[in-house]
Structure 1
């Protein structure tokens, strides 16, 4: 007890526990409800668990269906321990610039690269700023923290850490709530929806996507509306197979995207351009069983991606190859994989490797074919 107190004072971490230091601190309990408690404490603990590889991280890595449903009543924080301090525009700018830097690394190398560094940044640099903060910049500070938490969630999801990603997303929602920022809240809810669909929890994904759309009915940039409406189309297709309504949502998303006037990189949703929409259409068509349509749109998306988007190009290219294989075109699938060789090198993305594993399993009987054999050797060398 005295040693923990000494370390807490030395590190200026009053909430430090024996478990944070890797010492026995009682039995590991089931994951707590991430919708309750202080979101600032949550991001501190999530970061510590990630950095220190604590035993609690094993239970925190589990995806929770309970947490995938929005609570009927939100748990509000009315009081938070911490020394009073005034946040300024410089604090907000610093967090956003750092988040952009980590986002660029994610685009280049995948979520498995530098993920724990972002968790450390949130724990040691961002969370302390949020405690006891006052001043006119406080809301924007919480929005910036929500953006960083969203990126931590996205990277964790890409790295295959589903439970940790879910908890980061939830805290992003709650930080946005505290800042009264409905667009940021909808952004984080969309992230939860994407994750639910990718894990096969289609009804949860549909409900979360609908909740994201409900949150911006009072107004949002056209590009943001397109981004969320496109996700609603995919979620609806996955949950119900309703072709008519899914296509209607895609048309609405495309109409919003056509009239979007925000600069493409001005916000989190700013990267939602024509090639992003093409990927969304491909995902929706794949959910509807239209593999030919999915192949067409995946190919269009891959071909128009920027140089920095290596992980995204690798992921969509892998999805393209998988669809080509399902359409019984192994030669095309093999060529697509071989064309991705430069992008696949150095990518740390469990999402990408999961799709590649499906491809290897699918063409297993065809490995004597020269093109397939070459592509399979490439995939075998990646692990």
Structure 2
């Protein structure tokens, strides 16, 4: 309904993340992306997988109304680890005019919704992978496009949780890009979609999304309100057997995100407490997650004026970070090095900077 948070989300996405924003050709015709994921332990560049991908892309390129199906191997559209390949498809007509007469078989409306939902999940995963691959404008744009398309597919499926999860991805991107007002609006829509879900972890996920956006927008009242609501939700028993994206929002992830929201609000003691809780929950076996939490905890301790505590925490962070390939870890390393420049007269600070430099090189 026009005027609701959901309708505003649609309007905002069309304004900020248009469906076709890759150039003049795209503005004339619809576009789509084929995502190929290699089986566990294999790569899309392996001979058999490459042949299968090439065959599918060739068949798609030969369909009526298709102008071009780009070869992922010829357009550098393969992830660095070789697990995923992306093929861009350009149509000669707009999305609403794409003819499905060539599709074989028929299916019920319920099956159609299931197909939209499954595709939404896959596209969202592609967005997350693009976002985690690097911090370049190209990859950010690719992630935004995937998240926006995932939302549209989820809306077609009538799936509130998938819709909210896609909006969460876009809200986080807006925060990272400095679009604070847009992030809050997307967070509000995210919460609206998740309001009637029976999955408490999903509700906590979306409430924390809005709390974070509000904190970034310096709206303490809204941030505190929705942070409390997320805490209430995360404290409820998890839904057994749920395998949705939002269902994996664990108490540890909530504690970490809440700690950073509290840090943004200036409540450093509570932030430190939540980050310690996150470390206790995650344990020692999740190195990437633990490294990121330690990096954030070091920053909080520095803001508290505890320089020795900050350096001790960052020393543990470097022990965890060594050998981990992650955009977030690399960003944390750069942030730590910059903050330690102020302490050039402290030998340990310079040692930490040098260690971080070796890891980022």
Task: Say whether the fold is shared (TM-score over 0.5).
Answer: yes
Query: Deviations for 1:153-206, whole angstroms, at most 9, x for unmatched residues?
Result: 122223213111111111111221222212101111011111211222211111
Instruction: Provide the C-alpha distance between the structure 2 equivalents of 1:147 and 1:122, rounded to a whole number of angstroms.
Output: 18
After superposing on structure 2, the runs of 4+ consecutive aligned residues of structure 1 that deviate more than 4 Å are: 30-33
Question: Higher strand share goes to which structure?
Answer: 2
Shift of 1:122: 10
- Tell me, yes or no, if the aligned pair for 2:33 and 2:87 is still in contact at 8 Å: no
CA RMSD, Structure 1 to Structure 2 (Å): 3.3
> Structure 1: where are the runs of 5+ without partners?
1-27, 53-80, 84-111, 124-130
**Aligned counterpart, 2:120:** 146
Distance 1:262-1:218 versus aligned 2 partners, 3 A rule: closer
**Aligned counterpart, 2:258:** 281
- TM-score, normalization: structure 2? 0.68
2:216 pairs with one of 223, 238, 244: 238
Instruction: Provide the C-alpha distance between the structure 2 equivalents of 1:31 and 1:202, rounded to a whole number of angstroms.
Output: 31
2:227 pairs with one of 247, 250, 255: 250
Shift of 1:368: 4.5
Distance 1:337-1:113 versus aligned 2 partners, 3 A rule: farther
Distance 1:376-1:255 versus aligned 2 partners, 3 A rule: same
- Tell me, yes or no, if the aligned pair for 2:35 and 2:84 is still in contact at 8 Å: no
Instruction: Provide the C-alpha distance between the structure 2 equivalents of 1:141 and 1:347, rounded to a whole number of angstroms.
Output: 35
Q: Secondary structure at the match of 1:44?
A: strand
- Tell me, yes or no, if the aligned pair for 1:264 and 1:272 is still in contact at 8 Å: no
- Tell me, yes or no, if the aligned pair for 2:130 and 2:143 is still in contact at 8 Å: yes
**Aligned counterpart, 2:10:** none
- Tell me, yes or no, if the aligned pair for 1:338 and 1:378 is still in contact at 8 Å: no
Q: Secondary structure at the match of 2:197?
A: coil
Q: Secondary structure at the match of 1:253?
A: helix
Instruction: Provide the C-alpha distance between the structure 2 equivalents of 1:311 and 1:150, rounded to a whole number of angstroms.
Output: 21
Distance 1:43-1:120 versus aligned 2 partners, 3 A rule: closer
Distance 1:37-1:276 versus aligned 2 partners, 3 A rule: farther
Distance 1:256-1:344 versus aligned 2 partners, 3 A rule: same
Instruction: Provide the C-alpha distance between the structure 2 equivalents of 1:156 and 1:192, rounded to a whole number of angstroms.
Output: 13
**Aligned counterpart, 1:301:** 278
Shift of 1:234: 1.2
2:145 pairs with one of 123, 144, 167: 167
**Aligned counterpart, 1:117:** 83
Shift of 1:119: 4.1
**Aligned counterpart, 2:320:** 343
- TM-score, normalization: structure 1? 0.65
